Amino acid sequence: MYYMGIDVGSVSTNVVLLDEGLKVIEEIYLKSMGSPIKSVCEGLEKLKDKYDSKQIHGVGTTGSGRNIAAAVIGADVIKNEITTHSIAASHIDAGVQTILEIGGQDSKVILLRDGVISDFAMNTVCAAGTGSFLDRQAERLGIEISELGRMALKSRTTVRIAGRCAVFAETDIIHKQQLGYEKEDLIAGLCHALVRNYFSNLCKGKELRNKIFFQGGVAANQGIKKAFEELLDKEIIIPEHFRVMGAVGAAILAKESVKSKRVQTVFKGFNILKDRISTDSFECHDCPNHCEVIRIYSNNTMIGCFSDRCGKYQVSDAKSKT
């Protein structure tokens, strides 16, 4: 008996399988490449030859593409990233009180007290505090993104980089390059700039108590971890499955849901990989919002509608409204 969690983000799609004891037995990290449906199917493709559909007893989805993923594969639980990251961290260590999470396009801080979310904040506006900014600068400096953290730890002089804006930060890095600073020092300065941006945007007025978990793809960068520890003067813990914690939390919630309700999973099975998935859209004129409504089809049968603010097309009888 296995439980699947899928986290569909703007940059990556993560798929995990947990066993009955909630141990991670499969961890798949994929680039979304602007096509969440394709990346979800790619994740299932990697599992279909190793597992039977009947072995999957629960599925949970999370992330910005959670509703789309749920419509395509069938999900028992659909939850936001704040909840799933918190559930996964608390499962690993009940003493966690602060979660720092930085993904490709957004970042968040979550405060837990006695295992319950007491406060959180998300940044979905400024790219300077996200992984995509690091990717961009690594590419410009001619460095593999996987090497950024290692190079940052070699720095002897941390360069002060303007980090409040991605555009200004890049301009400042170019200027510092022209002054002759080494790449290691520039990267260390970049890591500190990202962390300062993170705190100024998300952490004002918040008490960041120990234990502190650092989650998300950027946690692979040891330079960012070091910058957090220097700024906070606290130990930062990176959990084993830091890249896929949202998916882990979604899988845990899926197990809890099917067990508590004593129902069978609505997972459609690996056979959906044979289906032809397509999308289209239309503009609703029923109110001044003029929402662009996205429709998803499987073999020409509509399986979901999204993006309408009022939710009128997301109800079960959506077909009669289009």
Dihedral of CA atoms 213, 216, 219, 224 in degrees, nearest 10, equals -90
Mean pLDDT of 100-128: 85
Q: Would you list the domain boundaries of the chain?
A: 2-84+246-274, 95-238, 277-321
> Mean pLDDT, the chain, as a whole number?
88
What is the arrangement of strands in the sheet containing 12-18, beginning at the earlier edge strand? 24-31, 12-18, 2-8, 56-62, 77-78
> What pLDDT shows up at residue 321?
35
pLDDT at 318: 36
Q: Which CATH class is domain 2-84+246-274?
A: alpha beta
Distance between CA atoms of 26 and 18, rounded to whole angstroms? 7
Which residues make Cβ contacts (< 8 Å) with residue 71, sequence separation at least 6? 296, 303, 304, 306
In three-state secondary structure terms, 121 is: strand
At the fourth CATH level, which superfamily is domain 95-238?
Answer: ATPase, nucleotide binding domain (3.30.420.40)
Q: What is the pTM of this model?
A: 0.87
Helices (H) and strands (E) in the chain, counts: 9, 12
Same-fold call for 2-84+246-274 versus 95-238: yes
* pLDDT per position as a tens digit, 23-62: 999 999 998 877 888 999 999 999 999 999 999 999 999 9
Q: Residue 314 has what DSSP assignment?
A: S
Bridge partner residues of 278 (DSSP): 297
DSSP helix/strand/coil, 65: coil
CA distance linking residue 200 with residue 166, whole number of Å: 14
pLDDT tens per residue across span 251-273 = 999 999 999 999 999 999 999 99
